[in-house]
Chain A
Amino acid sequence: MRIIGTPELTAFRDQCRTWLGENAPAKPWPMDGEALRDFDLAWQRRQYEGGWAGVSWPKDYGGLGLSLLEQLVWHEEYARAGAPQSRSMFVALSHAGPTLIVQGSEAQKQRHLLPILKGEENWCQGFSEPGAGSDLSNLKTRAEIDGESLIVNGTKIWTTYGHLARWQELLVRTDPEAPRHKGISWVICDMRSPGIEVRPIVTMSGIAHFAQVFYDNVRIPLSNVVGGLHNGWKVAMTTLGFERGTGTIAHQYELARTVDELITMARDLPSSDGRGRAIDDGTTATDLATLRAEVMALRSLAAMTISRGLRQAVPGAEGNIAALYYAELTRRVHAAALDLLGPRGLERTGGHDWPLAFLESFKWGIGGGTSEIRRNTIGERVLGLPKGPSAR
């Protein structure tokens, strides 16, 4: 338990701050469609050209190979600069890329890694299906082996930016006879393959955020299987464990900023009875103070995750604690914003789009594992309680 600081880290922090200060694109950013994708790719390219791409990737694959502490500094400065989140580049940078680095063949790495860092190609994640959400291992999308190819039939759903992605990390069932977890393969799918149809799905916030993807006899070379045929479950699980607490820093900063903004607003806005300021109302003050305490605790929980990451290479299930805390807190923060604003909270005007942020806040308790599944995992894998049917 101590404050970590060295002259080298401070110097590194200055470097990050200077570069981000000069290069991070200013708002507003495109929020939808191809404009969003092109923006994200361009920002990635800029980071590559500036020598800042792949902070957590090893040097052998074009990354910077930074230590965890340096990554942390980078992410802190990134968040402080308010630089754009990776969005349509997220799966490529934080999921598919790292999976290939650990599990991919040399040829797969050669083909795919650099184009990601250079902002030339992005990826999406095809895991969930209409019948396989929380219960992912129930997935049914079938891939039959035909000579040197797989023939894929079935459908994936909730594929974030599936309509904007060049490649897909795709989980398919290659052995329907094997036990559930044993007959799955992780394959690289070219989203331009014949037989693929992508239908964007509009979310409750009005954005075509994700898509349903249909596969009609889609041919994928067998050489695109990553980590061995029928071994896809293990391959998928390795990447789910990659989160070491640095990736969420930007979200956490953003939420802290939002709460500070709400407190400042409550000092300016008139109270609902018009006799004072909103903050003078006891309930409002209680809500805002509690939210501020919770965002501070979120930061401390993240610091705890990172402290563990400094000691152990593969993080345990404890990361679910901070993730669950964030999922619930972000909803409360944005609901409190609307409470505070009253009728003004209905207006979608320029500046801070509070209704949009409120609607978006719901996704956190669902995508990437629902809050209920996280509670199961905490109960079973952190606390050691007896397993129910949903262990994943």
Chain B
Amino acid sequence: MIVDLLPSEEQQLIDDSVRALLAERLPVERLRETASHGGAAERAAWGDFVALGLFGIGIAEADGGHGLGAAEEALVARALGRHLVSLSVLAQMAAPHLATDDALRTRLISGETRATFATVVDQGTAQRIDGDNADWLILLGEGVALVDVPAEAAPIACLDETVSLARLDGSFPAFERADSADRISLLLAAYLSGIAQATLDMAVAYAATREQFGQPIGAFQAIKHMCADMAVRGAAAEAQVLHAAVAFGAGLDDRAEVACARLLATDAALRNANANIQIHGAMGFTAECDAHLYLKRARLVSVLGSSRQAEQERLLAGVA
């Protein structure tokens, strides 16, 4: 099978317009202010997302969406990752796929009804992410399900302080793995590949300008090669994400393709975020430098309905 992994004109247009919106409304610096944490900045930009048609992008036109596919969704998710956009936006893109009745789907696409992710910790506990005013939860475990929000939620401090995390107590049965779970995992992988690219860009920009010993640190091979390895990891993750997205549902082994994308994108995001901190020296260790934000978000996403063990099993199961 031959796949073209570069965007068509139409796809490029989508990517450009999402990026332009994010650059204007949601620059990463916003997260230096607590007021924009927990998805607050995204809620303020909600109308723009709706106007762009983001929430129905991959939904068939007959179902009230824009009739595009997993590839376009992945492009959007990648851009969201670059800007560390609240995962509630990604959840809102995923939720219409899970809605079983037309009315709910329509309200999700129009943004009136809100969904967010919750990750299953054990059968009695889940963690809700950026869901301060969510009406529905996408429970992420081995499988996924769209469920009503339980009444009780206890806020809890999170490794990623830019996120609003809440403990939910209830009954969270295990759901079977289904295509919808793979589709969401693919979105999360795309988001992670965006983090891998953003941290590479940030590291390269710093390495090209910061001088020590009379030259830019990027001229030192220890730094240059670290950047090259970041580029390779980022490129591999991105190519795999796009490949899985283009081929999704086309008769390949989707489960293994997505597991591969998720595993490599997680790895690329985490390792690039680490390297980015190192390349920034002490500046990278401070709160005022954005480098830590990528690391924290990558950590958070890495455990959402995924574990290295589970992805590995899906990869190995793919070999006949």
Give residues in A with beta carbon < 8 Å to B: 1-5, 9, 69, 72-73, 76, 260, 263-264, 279, 285-286, 288-290, 292-294, 296-301, 303-304, 306-308, 310-311, 318, 321, 324-325, 372, 374-376, 378-380, 382-388
Closest CB in chain B relative to A286 CB, distance in Å: 6
| Distance of A317 Cα from B5 Cα, bound (Å) | 18
Given contacts A1-B5, A294-B236, contact A300 B227 (CB under 8 A): no
List the 10 shortest-distance A-B pairs measured between CB atoms, nearest first: A289-B312, A379-B224, A300-B239, A385-B218, A300-B243, A375-B228, A378-B228, A297-B236, A386-B219, A293-B260
Q: Is B242 an interface residue (CB 8 A)?
A: yes
Give residues in B with beta carbon < 8 Å to A: 1-8, 11, 71, 75, 200, 204, 207-208, 215-216, 218-219, 221, 224-225, 227-229, 231-232, 235-237, 239-240, 242-243, 245-247, 250, 256-257, 259-260, 263-264, 308, 311-313, 315-316, 318-319
Please classify the interface of chain A as helix (H, G, I), strand (E, B), loop, or mixed, using the class held by over half of its residues: helix
| Distance of A220 Cα from B316 Cα, bound (Å) | 57
B243 with A303: CB separation less than 8 A: yes
A384 with B228: CB separation less than 8 A: no
* Nearest residue, chain B, Cβ from A378: B228
A300 with B240: CB separation less than 8 A: yes
Number of A-B contacts defined by CB within 8 Å:
167
B219 with A385: CB separation less than 8 A: yes
B312 with A286: CB separation less than 8 A: yes
What are the residues of chain B within 8 A of A263 when measuring CB–CB? Answer: 316, 319
| Distance of A9 Cα from B1 Cα, bound (Å) | 11
A383 with B312: CB separation less than 8 A: no
What are the residues of chain A within 8 A of B245 when measuring CB–CB? Answer: 1
B6 with A293: CB separation less than 8 A: no
Closest CB in chain B relative to A14 CB, distance in Å: 15
| Distance of A296 Cα from B264 Cα, bound (Å) | 10
* Nearest residue, chain B, Cβ from A13: B2
Closest CB in chain B relative to A370 CB, distance in Å: 12
Residue of B215, B246, B315 with most partner-chain A CB within 10 A: B315
* Nearest residue, chain B, Cβ from A311: B6
* Nearest residue, chain B, Cβ from A295: B260
Choose one: B6, B229, B260; the contact of A308 (CB below 8 Å).
B6
Closest CB in chain A relative to B211 CB, distance in Å: 10
* Nearest residue, chain A, Cβ from B237: A297
What are the residues of chain A within 8 A of B219 when measuring CB–CB? Answer: 385-388
What are the residues of chain B within 8 A of A383 when measuring CB–CB? Answer: 200, 204, 227-228, 231
What are the residues of chain A within 8 A of B8 when measuring CB–CB? Answer: 1-2
A292 with B260: CB separation less than 8 A: yes
What are the residues of chain A within 8 A of B221 when measuring CB–CB? Answer: 372, 375-376, 388
What are the residues of chain A within 8 A of B246 when measuring CB–CB? Answer: 1-3
| Distance of A379 Cα from B216 Cα, bound (Å) | 13
Taking A375-B224, A388-B224 as known contacts, 18 extra A-B pairs with beta carbons closer than 8 A to each other, sorted by chain A number, are: A1-B4, A1-B7, A1-B246, A76-B2, A285-B313, A289-B313, A297-B239, A297-B240, A301-B239, A303-B5, A308-B6, A310-B4, A376-B225, A379-B228, A385-B216, A386-B208, A386-B218, A388-B219
What are the residues of chain B within 8 A of A306 when measuring CB–CB? Answer: 2
B227 with A385: CB separation less than 8 A: yes
A380 with B224: CB separation less than 8 A: yes
Closest CB in chain A relative to B145 CB, distance in Å: 27
| Distance of A3 Cα from B248 Cα, bound (Å) | 10
What are the residues of chain A within 8 A of B263 when measuring CB–CB? Answer: 289-290, 293
